[in-house]
Amino acid sequence: MTQPKKKEPTQRRPATMKDIANAAGVAQSTVSRILNDAPLLVPISRETRERVLAAAAEFAYRPNPHARGLRGAPTMLLGAIVRDITDPFFAGAIDALSLEARQRGYSVVLGHARERADEALALAAVLEARQCDGIVIVGDMRNQPRLMEDLERVHAPVVAVWHGSRHDGFLTVNVDNRRGIEAALNHLARLGHRRVAFAGDPVLGDIQERQAAYEDYVSRHGLEARDGYIQHVRNSFSSGVAALEALMGLSEPPTAVAAATDVLAIGMLHAASERGLAVPADFSAVGFDDIPFAPMTVPALTTVRMPLERMIKAAVEMAVDKKLRNAAGTPRGVRVFRPSVVVRRSTAKLERR
């Protein structure tokens, strides 16, 4: 006897509001008002509401973000553009942003700007096409002027974090870079260091502010300002190595360095070890960021810590919270957070030399 042919399983299409309306025995408009929590001109009974919600759960209904955006409802999508996802600091920031967004019911659409202008330029259009409720820029993107111009034109709040001084077109969440560098230099000065160098990437807004704070502090407090004590390098571990090699090659090398980032400082610690320098007996180093690697280096890195989670929370609030908007619907506010020095083993009192 011939067995009946088994029917091939078919992929189930996404459920629609019409499916839920048919299952619950109500009008599609009723389903829409209940699922979107819209204001009701005519009261809906508790029994009807529960029946609609049960049908939505049974169908595993998920709203279409694009359709929600066309109706003017929140899409529950948050756009994020990160300058460099390979940077340990920004990797931690994106993780914190994803967690904060998820706690608010948002999904994150992530774009990586990298160093390529063509890729960066496409991000604004992609995020706007996805109907994001807000966009967070993580890191300074001002070396991509066309991207910044495009972001100024998107129809969603844009918040820039770790962007340096305020950009006229955006809300900003930033750290007090001057206070952070001054705290690091105060720590080194109390330990007796007078020959203190600085290393950082001069292209980036945050780093420009940190270098300016360093130069002002050296001038005001009479530290020794020598040629070569400011090292302009890219923000990478290998650049930290190169910076220390250059500093140690000077006729009178510094006894300490304030690195603009932990990445650079960790590169310097590695270079010092390769040269046989004892840190901190021969050379003290301070970083900036307090990335997860900082307490794990040998010796553990003294650094300037930023309240990363609080800064990310503020950025997400400014991007999506309607209560923070003015009468015109535009988000308001510029937030600056205070950093603090975390003293570990990479700095010590200078023995007179």
Q: Name the DSSP class of 41.
A: S
Work out the mean pLDDT of the chain and round it to a whole number. Answer: 84
- Say if CB 301 and CB 287 are below 8 A apart: yes
Report which of 226, 219, 234 is spatially closest to residue 185, judged by C-alpha positions: 219
Average pLDDT over every residue of 300-306: 98
pLDDT band at residue 75 under the 50/70/90 scheme: confident
Q: Which one has a higher pLDDT value, 194 or 31?
A: 194
Instruction: Indicate the range of 84-88, 113-117, 119-123, 332-336 predicted with least confidence.
Output: 119-123
Q: Which of 51-55, 61-65, 100-104, 233-237 has the lowest mean pLDDT?
A: 61-65
Q: How far apart are CA 8 and CA 5, in angstroms?
A: 9
Q: SS3 breakdown of the chain: % helix, strand, coil, rounded to 5?
A: 40, 15, 40
pLDDT at 155: 75
Per-residue DSSP letter, 142: T
Does residue 271 register a pLDDT over 60?
yes
Task: Tell me the Cα Rg of the chain.
Answer: 27
CB 90, CB 137: distance < 8 Å: no
Distances (CA, A) of 233 to 140, 146, 199: 16, 25, 7
* Both structure tokens of 192: 């007796």
Indicate if the pLDDT at residue 53 is higher than 90.
Answer: no
- Closest by CA position to 178, among listed 204, 212, 219, 218: 212
Q: Which amino acid is at 77?
A: L
pLDDT in tens, 80-109: 988 888 899 999 999 999 999 999 888 898
Question: What are phi and psi for residue 234, nearest 5 degrees?
Answer: -65, 160
Residue 75 sits at the vertex; the CA angle it makes with 71 and 76, to the nearest 5 degrees, is: 155
Mean pLDDT of 161-179: 84
Give the Cα separation of 103 and 96 in Å (integer): 11
Q: Which of 36-50, 100-114, 262-276 has the lowest mean pLDDT?
A: 36-50
The H or E element that residue 114 is part of is none
The β-bridge partners of 287 are: 303
Pairing outcome for strands 134-138 and 284-289: unpaired
Alpha helices in the chain (DSSP H): 17-24, 28-35, 46-58, 65-70, 88-103, 117-129, 145-152, 177-190, 205-221, 237-248, 262-275, 308-320
